[in-house]
Copies of this chain bind each other. A is one copy, B any other.
């Protein structure tokens, strides 16, 4: 087992009506004036925003409002949030939404404590030293941002999507009511499940040694989501399926599944995420769907470097009963693609709606390799040429 750190301090309240405790928890963590940060009109139409406001009112917490966060959240909205929070004297950030809204809050939190340009952190030109306290009312189970140390922002001026990781931004609390995800459309639900499983896979396929009990936990989480995903897609109001997906989203990305793999629990392969970040930076695709579309090409390309690990995945997660490791590995990849197709996910870029030119493949690989200055991946280290080949295979 490798050395590691584990720190997941977020207080989780998981129940129907959890959103009604927002005011109490903001108070508990010292907030007196909150930024209420959210996305589109659905939180307003559903009445959720009113319930959260009533809860803040009841606890005597004042608030300012900033909606309009979009998937692949934008730097311009972050700037808007920082300016608003400074003008309003906000001392707590309350995200009402999914990963995009929470990630936007995290960026605002960093920016509030920094005199320079917040994008510096995302360009790795600076390291955050402080942040604001953040809480979340979760409405989409996917990104796991409610318990993670991660924030990913897209700079719409240059199409770059970049992430920052720091314990400073971990949510003080997360209010999780699976009923809030009942209205999520099947495609978004399925994309979320693909993202959740990918967060576990990125660590599971790190290329390091076997780590029990972490491997067993990861396999259990993946099996649980593979079981629940079709139920939630077919019956959006299946509470247990929604609850399973929501809790798995948090556990898949709070570093539990990275325990014993080194570092702060994020040690892993992360090539699929990096390859997808460039896709959704350039084309604004749904993150989970992008991950689904790239998985098969990546997996077949790198599998020969670690057939035993892919075979273990095949047997313990996909119930493949094939004695030969390479054959089992291939069957496992195909079985996972069949699962993805079954919940309506693309398994190649064309199914994602992208018909890429040779020039675009070059551009994606160029961007993903930071202009040929970095490699990605750990189960197999990928150069710019490898990245281009995986994008090509994924067409």
Stretch at the interface among A132-140, A182-190, A236-244: A236-244
Partner pick for A220 among B8, B217, B244, CB 8 A cutoff: B217
The verdict on A65 contacting chain B, using a C-beta distance below 8 Å, is no
Q: Mark A196-219, 1 if CB is under 8 A from B, else 0.
A: 000000000000000011111101
Q: How far is the CA of A260 from the CA of B259 in the complex (A)?
A: 22
Q: List 26 A-B contacts (CB under 8 A).
A: A1-B14, A1-B178, A1-B244, A1-B247, A3-B14, A4-B15, A5-B12, A6-B12, A6-B14, A14-B259, A212-B220, A213-B221, A213-B223, A213-B247, A214-B247, A215-B220, A216-B220, A216-B223, A216-B224, A217-B220, A217-B221, A217-B251, A219-B220, A243-B260, A247-B260, A256-B256
Q: Which residue of B lies closest to A14 (CB)?
A: B4
Contacts of A214 in B (CB 8 A): 247
Given contacts A213-B220, A247-B213, contact A7 B12 (CB under 8 A): yes
A14 pairs with B260, CB closer than 8 A = yes
Contacts of A247 in B (CB 8 A): 1, 213-214, 259-260
A residues near B (Cβ < 8 Å) are 1, 3-9, 11-16, 178, 212-217, 219-221, 223-225, 227-228, 239-240, 243-244, 247-248, 251, 256, 259-260
Q: How far is the CA of A214 from the CA of B228 in the complex (A)?
A: 13
Contacts of A13 in B (CB 8 A): 5
Contacts of A3 in B (CB 8 A): 14-16
Contacts of A4 in B (CB 8 A): 12, 14-15
Q: How far is the CA of A310 from the CA of B13 in the complex (A)?
A: 30
Contacts of A240 in B (CB 8 A): 1
Q: Which residue of B lies closest to A6 (CB)?
A: B12
B239 pairs with A1, CB closer than 8 A = yes
Contacts of A8 in B (CB 8 A): 8-9
Copies of this chain in the oligomer: 2
A212 pairs with B244, CB closer than 8 A = yes
CB distance from A371 to the nearest CB of B (A): 36
Contacts of A228 in B (CB 8 A): 212
B11 pairs with A251, CB closer than 8 A = no
Contacts of A16 in B (CB 8 A): 3
Q: Which residue of B lies closest to A11 (CB)?
A: B7
Q: A11, A239, A248: which has the most chain B beta carbons within 10 Å?
A: A11
B244 pairs with A213, CB closer than 8 A = yes
Q: How far is the CA of A213 from the CA of B214 in the complex (A)?
A: 14
Q: Which residue of B lies closest to A262 (CB)?
A: B15
CB distance from A388 to the nearest CB of B (A): 37
CB distance from A286 to the nearest CB of B (A): 24
A212 pairs with B239, CB closer than 8 A = no
Q: How far is the CA of A82 from the CA of B259 in the complex (A)?
A: 36
Contacts of A243 in B (CB 8 A): 1, 260
A5 pairs with B1, CB closer than 8 A = no
CB distance from A195 to the nearest CB of B (A): 16
Contacts of A212 in B (CB 8 A): 220, 223-224, 227-228, 244
CB distance from A177 to the nearest CB of B (A): 10
CB distance from A339 to the nearest CB of B (A): 16
Contacts of A239 in B (CB 8 A): 1
Contacts of A5 in B (CB 8 A): 11-14
